[in-house]
Amino acid sequence: MPSTPYVITQPQARELLAQVDVPQILRKLFRDLAAGQAVQPAQQLVEFPQGAGDFINYLGVLAEDGVYGVKTSPYIVREQGPLVTAWTLLMSMQTGQPLLLCDAGELTTARTAATTAVAVDALAPLKAQRLAIIGSGKVAQAHLYYVKDLRDWQSISLYSPSLNGKNPEALAQLKSLDPRLTLADSCEAAIQDADVIMLCTSSAGPVIDPSILSKPALITSISTNAPRAHEVPPQSLNDMQVFCDYRQTTPGSAGEMLIAGEQHGWDKHSIVGDLPDLLSEKVQRPEYDRSVFFRSIGLGLEDIALANALYRLQQ
């Protein structure tokens, strides 16, 4: 008999996510990838005619848990600005039946930030003290939530162009996220002497230039799903040690990597390592003789692993 999948709405997902250890779920996922217990195909871009938008489909298999999943996310061009939603479907590898349909909005925010946190923990200098965050939206705030206890941060500086338009209540809410947090007046001020710089924007083009940094730093980037979006100048990859979430798929989708390969002589084989490498200790923590760049495109498996954890909670 066909089964009807269990449906989790966005408010339910938010409530359930608070009950699971998101970074730990992702660490296990990347170790499973390293051990061949998970499968992550390249993401699939399906463009609408006449530039009206696209769907990005992220697929994955978690063999140990017996689930196949797909996250599908539309980018719908509208006059009032693009509309982006996302849903994750889980299916049983034993019965072939759908198990779960979950609004992936909360999953996406949590897994994006927690994946960066896993990378920061694996890559940042152990004595890192100065953290900078570029961006102030939900994703930026989630980044702060997941990294705030990973190092003994002495200062946390945040900058976003949108801060100028925020009312005092919104600014106070931001400042209340952590007692060490200060709001910078400019991007340059925020990243001054930073050990770790987390780029958490929806910008389609560069927001910082690593060449202006006063010392080598770890720069993490998530970007957005606008075509070829990137948060650092593509040519800067040639001057940094480059890591990513999954080296099999990230270079084929990350905007700065595509452009750097086509126009600036960068080679994807120069990627030092990915999260499966780092978490299985095939690759060591980098020396900071030059800046380190970590690029995450967001893997379907991350959403699928979190959706599966929420599904198990409900059983």
Alpha-carbon distance of 83 to 81, in angstroms, equals 7
74-130 pLDDT per residue, tens = 989 999 988 989 999 999 999 999 999 999 999 999 999 999 999 999 999 999 999
Alpha-carbon distance of 8 to 276, in angstroms, equals 29
Alpha-carbon distance of 184 to 264, in angstroms, equals 33
| pLDDT, position 245 | 97
Alpha-carbon distance of 162 to 154, in angstroms, equals 25
Name which of 44, 37, 26, 199 is nearest 107 in CA terms.
Answer: 26
276-292 pLDDT per residue, tens = 999 999 999 999 999 99
| pLDDT, position 1 | 47
Q: What is the CA radius of gyration of the chain?
A: 19
| pLDDT, position 2 | 59
Q: Do the Cβ atoms of 103 and 87 come closer than 8 Å?
A: yes
Contacts 24+ apart (CB under 8 A), 269-273: 270/242, 271/242, 271/243, 271/244, 271/247, 272/241, 272/242, 272/243, 273/243, 273/247
One digit per residue, the tens of pLDDT, for the chain of length 315 reads 457 899 999 999 999 999 999 999 999 999 999 999 999 998 898 999 999 999 989 899 999 999 999 999 998 999 998 898 999 999 999 999 999 999 999 999 999 999 999 999 999 999 999 999 999 999 999 999 999 999 999 999 999 999 987 889 989 999 999 999 999 999 999 999 999 999 999 898 999 999 999 999 999 999 876 789 999 999 999 999 999 999 999 999 999 999 999 999 999 999 999 999 999 999 999 999 999 999 999 898 999 999 999 999 988
Q: Do the Cβ atoms of 192 and 23 come closer than 8 Å?
A: no
Alpha-carbon distance of 160 to 169, in angstroms, equals 16
Q: Is 85 exposed, middle or buried (0-12, 13-18, 19+ CB in 10 A)?
A: middle
